Amino acid sequence: MGPDPAVAAVRVAVRRALTGLPPGALVLAACSGGADSLALAGALAFEAPRAGLHAGAVTVDHGLQEGSADRAAQLVRLLADLGLDPAGSIAVTVGTEGGPENAAREARYAALDQAAARWNAAAVMLGHTRDDQAETVLLGLARGSGARSLAGMPPAFTRPEGEVRYLRPLLGVDRGTARKACLAMGLEPWDDPHNLDPGFARVRVRREALPALEKALGPGVAEALARTARMLRDDAEALDGLAQRALADAEADGEADGEGGAGGGTDGQGGADGSDGAGAAGGGDGGDGRTGEGGGLRVEVLEGLPRAVRTRVLRMAAVAAGSPPGTLAAVHVEEVDRLVTDWRGQRHVDLPGGVRAFRRCGRLLFGPA
């Protein structure tokens, strides 16, 4: 007799995600103790040895609730009992930048990066399910964030801040199946009270918006949203590839278009990588001689790009200059785009993370405000 159907579904998803990892590599499950990540940890403990891999787990103690340290210690013991080795917890301090959800997410990923580096893990698995994907798509739609946001969460990614490969095996598994699998494996999940707090936008989407859509449109809304995300991701990845090449073209040396003179500088400062130092802080209202012709992005190249590609180029440049991708919104990118397409002598555009975009001497520059 085979395993419970829910357990089988989760194991198959994990097995597929393990394909291609180097033999003998360590894979970590990021586990909060909730049903989704606990089912993921149980499936990884089963599948990894059969794939010739080692399995471990890590939990992050955000310190936001009383008794969180004790819960983390209990969870580590449970993960170790599953055969996950190493198994450990990392306590973090959650800041305030970008709101509580963004701050907690950034602290969590920094801790996971740290754990993966310490244990030399080849990948870290996250327990996001199809329902999480549907919520992400709805949140992106409400914010008007564009196709990349509507493409939802990718099944695999590497953060710009590090080299850790993250995998999301359960994006094709619904939350109910993950919970059933957890219980069928004899694992008792912990339900985070924050998941019931209507002060969080995602909780309102989960408990109010999606049920209302299901009531109005019929069942299957979450599955349809996740399917839409998969299709849009293909489009977004193709456009991102074009944008990467366009970014390289815009960064290449070329003759400035001269709306403010050649600038007089030759130090090549002012690039999209945020290395422009004092030159960027001077604003975009005049050529002070600190920005050379080789710096920044060439406006003449940007002007010739389709808007879908150009805005991606501008976003990439802003993120490379230090603007946090989690708080850099479409409205910010649109204002930067006006420096290219609707230039009327604007001084600059201030972006999240203390980054400023401005135009000078035929170049679009990003630097510290």
CATH number of the structural domain spanning residue 94: 3.40.50.620
Mean pLDDT, the chain, rounded, equals 85
Q: What is the pLDDT of residues 223-275, one digit of tens each?
A: 999 998 988 888 888 999 999 999 999 998 754 444 443 333 333 333 333 33
Residue 245 inside a domain? The answer is no
- Point out the domain boundary residue: 237, 270, 289: 237
Segment among 61-70, 188-197, 258-267, 312-321 with least mean pLDDT? 258-267
**CA torsion, points 205, 207, 213, 215, in degrees to nearest 10?**
180
Looking at residue 1, its amino acid is M
Distance CA 302, CA 315 (A): 13
Residues 285 and 184 in one domain: no
Q: Which residues are annotated as a binding site?
A: 32-37
> 201 or 24, which is more confident?
24
Neighbours of 43 (CB within 10 A): 32
C-beta separation of 34 from 4 below 8 A: no
**CA torsion, points 200, 203, 205, 210, in degrees to nearest 10?**
-170
Q: Map residue 341 onto helix, strand or coil.
A: helix
> Parallel, antiparallel, or unpaired for β 87-91 and 123-125?
unpaired
The domain tally of the chain equals: 2
Distance CA 242, CA 249 (A): 11
Q: How crowded is the C-beta side of 71, counted as CA atoms within 13 Å?
A: 20
Q: Is the pTM of this model over 0.85?
A: no
- Point out the domain boundary residue: 210, 237, 264: 237
Q: So what's the pLDDT on residue 324?
A: 87
Domain containing 325 equals 254-368
Q: Which residues are annotated as a binding site for ATP?
A: 32-37
Distance CA 21, CA 17 (A): 9
